[in-house]
Amino acid sequence: MTGNEQVMSDGGPRSRPARKENALRRLAEDGDVWVATADATGVPCLVPLAFWWDGEAVWLSTRPTNPTGANMAATGQVRLALGTTRDVVQIEGTVRAYTAEELPDGVGDSFAAKDGWDPRESDGRYDFYRVTLDVLRAYGTVPELVGRTLMRDGEWLV
């Protein structure tokens, strides 16, 4: 197990507050997130992207012409996954797209500082996508499936 995996060695479930703490740590420290979208016909797309957590929302960046960017802009919905199969953080979120010129102050610099990559300086256009968390689930093993929903309608339940 890595340092971020908090599943108890005896297989027992972690407390919901411990899972929330682990989810927040992953949002702050993990480098990449799996991003799942679908187009209007339901064709899925799953890619890893660098991200930045501002303490309230997840920021992503990709080309608006890529399936992921186009899907997020068109549907306003995304699913994100952090962790491993034994330490999962799943997020359902609402998306708002921004061009680099529309970014709120500090977002582009903070995004670039976290990953060492600045989409604003890349060839071609990269847009940014602010993901507001609607639902967050965190679980590891089967005993943690009960109570895995830690956030609903953007409100923490723990």
List C-alpha distances in Å: 97 to 61, 82, 131, 132, 142: 9, 21, 9, 11, 36
Q: What would the mean pLDDT of 98-115 be, rounded to a whole number?
A: 97
φ and ψ of 15, to 5 deg: -70, 160
For the cut 50, the answer to whether the pLDDT of residue 1 exceeds it is no
Under 8 Å CB-to-CB from 130, ≥6 apart: which residues? 57, 58, 59, 95, 96, 98
pTM for this entry = 0.91
In this structure, are strands 155-156 and 149-152 parallel, antiparallel, or unpaired? Answer: antiparallel
- 61-86: b or e for each residue (b if 16 or more CB lie within 10 Å)? bbebebbbbbbbeeeebbbbbbbeee
* Averaged pLDDT for residues 49-55: 98
pLDDT category, 10, cuts 50, 70, 90? low
The reported pLDDT for the residue numbered 70 is 98
Q: Which amino acid is at 97?
A: A
pLDDT, tens digit, for every residue of 118-156?
Answer: 999 999 999 999 999 999 999 998 999 999 999 999 999
Per-residue pLDDT band for 11 (boundaries 50, 70, 90) equals low
Q: What percentage of the chain carries pLDDT values higher than 70?
A: 93
Tokens of 137: 């689930």
Judged against a pLDDT cut of 60, whether residue 88 lies above it is answered with yes
State the residue for tokens 């799953």.
46
